């Protein structure tokens, strides 16, 4: 298993390109199931989660080819309707095949994901919405068996603005009979990207990006030819890396509007963020100011940036409170940060982070995707050598992160163990 070895203390400088968004690519590739023919995607990141969705769709009968950042998916001959436990367990986004399969073929068998490192993460709102559209869904040996002659549009009020639930229901509604109204829908940029892609296939959708999405079902959809949006969480992670190392980094290809909540907090922490010739420049301040953060659904501060922002706050000039409102158990990185000398106390869903003068390198263990990124960030700023183990988590969602950081001047390598 590979590990990442960092000798900390370098200020990051230079220009870095932001890759395509994992969380936009996964639902979009599943959306290929909605229509026969060859669907084409560009700006697809090279990630383990993309390999997993490729494997999953191939098992359903989709023929997939990849070259560089291009992915072609021919969904003409689907002959299997099951997302097995082994796949869903490693990547929860696999449940995004449920809506499209049910809408186009009237059947799907999808393993329940079970818990994961950051919380319980049920999918009850996905199934509740599909049942409201007329699907029959039973649980059998850990699998959801879903059937529907024809999904029928209806009004669905989501108890929580779930991202995956909104995506599943949005995809299902495109081929339902009549109008579906999703209320309290998620507003994340990835939802807008998915809706734009579905519209380019012929779907009739209004209101994506707001809390109310209206979908008028159509009998069939055409093929996709779509460029995946830039990854706002990768961009955000690199922005924190610049701030944390007191560096000066230009990010190419990010959409600044997607990162306003993070930018506001980075400015509060003393960083300087500006737009220069279409690039975003982040300059870290000599003194990092303590800054409180609460995670919430978009446009609030993203839970997927909570661990990275905590990494920054470990070196602040005072105490900050970081509150996690989206997932109940997303502080697994705290114990590892403590191994590097961070002073953090957990109190319910808040973490009180008292800034220390220095972090000191040590071996640490990645526990989930974003936690692993936060440990890499700590390593960049720590004195001495940090080894981050179990980086298969990192590879799920960051494309060559260590290469990008090395090009910015970090002393970081990947070592095969
Ligand atoms: C997506 C993102 C993930 C991000 C999360 C929140 C992808 C592939 N993953 O995950 O990176 O951290 O959004 O921004 O895009 N919930 C229920 N019942 C449901 C569904 C969700 O109770 O049926 C709860 C979850 O347990 C959680 C909250 O709602 O507490 C938000 O989850 P959700 O928005 O669904 O996250 P994901 O789509 O799984």
Query: What's the pLDDT tens digit per position in 165-214?
Result: 999 999 999 999 999 999 999 999 999 999 999 999 999 999 999 999 99
pLDDT at 329: 83
Rounded CA separation 296/348 (Å): 16
Rounded CA separation 180/194 (Å): 16
Read off the pLDDT of each residue in 299-315 and give the average, rounded to a whole number: 98
- 116 among known catalytic residues: yes
Q: Does 307 score more than 90 pLDDT? A: yes
CA-nearest residue for atom 21, ligand 1, is 162
The residues spanned by each domain of the chain are 2-18+230-416, 22-227
pLDDT at 417: 78
Asked if the domains at 2-18+230-416 and 22-227 fall in one CATH topology, the answer is yes
| pLDDT per position as a tens digit, 75-105 | 999 999 999 999 998 899 999 999 999 999 9
Ligand 1 atom with the shortest distance to the CA of 128: 23
Closest CA to 93 of 39, 160, 10, 28: 28
Q: What phi and psi values does residue 289 have, to the nearest 5 degrees? A: -90, 140
Contacts of 219 (CB under 8 A, 6+ apart): 175
Q: Which residues line ligand 1 (CB under 6 A)?
A: 23, 26, 92-93, 119-126, 160, 162-165, 186, 190, 303-304, 326-327
Contacts of 50 (CB under 8 A, 6+ apart): 22, 25, 26, 29, 44, 71
pLDDT, mean over the chain? 96
Closest CA to 198 of 184, 182, 217: 217
Rounded CA separation 116/120 (Å): 6
Closest CA to 291 of 308, 274, 267: 267
Choice among 30, 116, 187, 335 that is catalytic: 116
Rounded CA separation 382/375 (Å): 10
CA-nearest residue for atom 8, ligand 1, is 23
Closest CA to 8 of 416, 362, 257: 362
Contacts of 184 (CB under 8 A, 6+ apart): 157, 158, 159, 160, 161, 211
The most distant pair of C-alpha atoms in the chain lies apart, rounded to whole Å, by: 63
CA-nearest residue for atom 15, ligand 1, is 23
| pLDDT per position as a tens digit, 231-278 | 999 999 999 999 999 999 999 999 999 999 999 999 999 999 999 999
Rounded CA separation 65/288 (Å): 46
Ligand 1 atom with the shortest distance to the CA of 26: 8
Contact 415, 2 (CB under 8 A): yes
Rounded CA separation 115/363 (Å): 27
Q: 109 CA distance to ligand 1 centroid (A)?
A: 20
Q: 415 CA distance to ligand 1 centroid (A)?
A: 33
Ligand 1 atom with the shortest distance to the CA of 124: 23
pLDDT at 1: 80
Contacts of 257 (CB under 8 A, 6+ apart): none
Contact 257, 24 (CB under 8 A): no
Contact 396, 49 (CB under 8 A): yes
Rounded CA separation 269/283 (Å): 11
Q: Convert the chain into a string of H (helix), E (strand) and C (coil).
A: CEEEEEECCCCCEEEEECCECHHHHHHHHHHHHHCCCEEEEECCCCCHHHHHHHHHHHHHCCEEEEECCEEEEECCCCCCCEECHHHHHHCHHHHHHHHHHHHHHCEEEEECCCCECCECCCCHHHHHHHHHCCCEEEEECCEEEEECCCCECCEEECCCCCHHHHHHHHHHHHCCECEEEEECCCCCHHHHHHHHHHHHCCCEEECECECEEEEECCCCCCCCEEECCECHHHHHHHHHHHHHCCCEEEEECCCHHHHHHHHHHHHHCCCEEEEECCEEEEECCCCCCCCCEEECCCCCECHHHHHHHHHHHCCCCCEEEEECCCCCCCCCHHHHHHHCCCEEEEECCEEEEECCCCCECCEEECCCHHHHHHHHHHHHHCECEEEEECCHHHHHHCCCHHHHHHHCCCEEEEEEC
pLDDT at 122: 86
Instruction: Please state which of the ranges 62-71, 114-123, 257-266 shows the lowest mean pLDDT.
Output: 114-123
Q: 127 CA distance to ligand 1 centroid (A)?
A: 14
pLDDT at 116: 66
Q: Does 318 score more than 90 pLDDT? A: yes
Q: Does 117 score more than 80 pLDDT? A: no
pLDDT at 112: 87
Contact 126, 160 (CB under 8 A): no
Domain 22-227 top-level CATH class: alpha beta
**pLDDT grade, residue 118 (50/70/90)?**
low
Give me the CATH code for the 2-18+230-416 domain, please.
3.65.10.10
The tokens of 203 are what?
Answer: 């779907």
Ligand 1 atom with the shortest distance to the CA of 119: 26
Contact 391, 382 (CB under 8 A): no
Rounded CA separation 118/367 (Å): 9
Pocket test for ligand 1, best of 163, 170, 186, 393 (most atoms within 8 A of CB): 163
Q: Does 115 score more than 80 pLDDT? A: no
Q: Does 332 score more than 70 pLDDT? A: yes
| pLDDT per position as a tens digit, 349-368 | 999 999 999 999 999 998 89
């Amino acid at each position: 298993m590979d590990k990442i070895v960092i000798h900390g203390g370098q200020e990051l400088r230079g220009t870095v390109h932001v890759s395509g968004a994992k969380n936009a690519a996964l639902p979009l590739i599943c959306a290929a199931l909605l229509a026969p023919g060859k669907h084409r995607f560009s700006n697809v990141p090279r990630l383990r989660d993309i390999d997993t969705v490729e494997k999953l769709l191939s098992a359903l009968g989709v023929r997939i080819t990849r070259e560089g950042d291009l992915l072609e998916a021919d969904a003409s001959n689907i002959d299997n309707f099951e997302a097995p436990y082994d796949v869903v367990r490693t990547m929860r986004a696999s449940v995004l095949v449920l809506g499209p399969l049910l809408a186009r073929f009237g059947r799907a068998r999808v393993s329940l994901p079970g818990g994961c490192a950051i919380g319980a993460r049920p999918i009850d709102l996905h199934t509740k919405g599909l049942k409201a559209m007329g699907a029959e869904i039973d649980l059998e040996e850990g699998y959801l068996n879903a059937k529907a002659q024809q999904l029928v549009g209806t009004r669905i009020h989501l108890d929580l603005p779930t991202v995956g639930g909104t995506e599943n229901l949005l995809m299902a509604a495109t081929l339902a009979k009549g109008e579906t109204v999703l209320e309290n829908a998620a507003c994340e940029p990835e939802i807008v990207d998915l809706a734009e892609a579905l519209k380019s296939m012929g779907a009739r959708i209004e209101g994506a990006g707001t809390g109310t999405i209206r979908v008028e079902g159509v009998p069939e959809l055409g093929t996709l030819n779509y460029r995946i949006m830039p990854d706002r969480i990768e961009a955000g992670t690199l922005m924190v890396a610049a701030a944390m190392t007191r560096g000066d980094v230009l990010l190419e290809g990010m959409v600044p509007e997607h990162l306003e909540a993070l930018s506001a907090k980075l400015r509060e922490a003393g960083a300087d963020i500006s737009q220069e010739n279409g690039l975003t420049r982040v300059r870290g301040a000599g003194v990092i100011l303590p800054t409180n953060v609460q995670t919430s659904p978009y446009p609030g501060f993203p839970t997927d940036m909570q661990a990275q922002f905590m990494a920054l706050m470990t070196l602040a000039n005072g105490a900050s409170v970081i509150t996690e409102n989206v997932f109940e158990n997303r502080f697994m990185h705290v114990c590892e940060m403590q191994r590097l000398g961070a002073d953090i106390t957990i109190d319910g869903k808040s973490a009180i982070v008292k800034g220390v003068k220095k972090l000191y390198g040590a071996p640490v263990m990645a526990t989930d995707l974003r936690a692993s990124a936060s440990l890499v960030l700590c390593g960049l700023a720590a004195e001495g050598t940090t080894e981050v183990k179990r980086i298969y988590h990192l590879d799920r969602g960051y494309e060559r992160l260590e290469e990008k950081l090395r090009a910015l001047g970090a002393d970081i390598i990947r070592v095969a163990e």
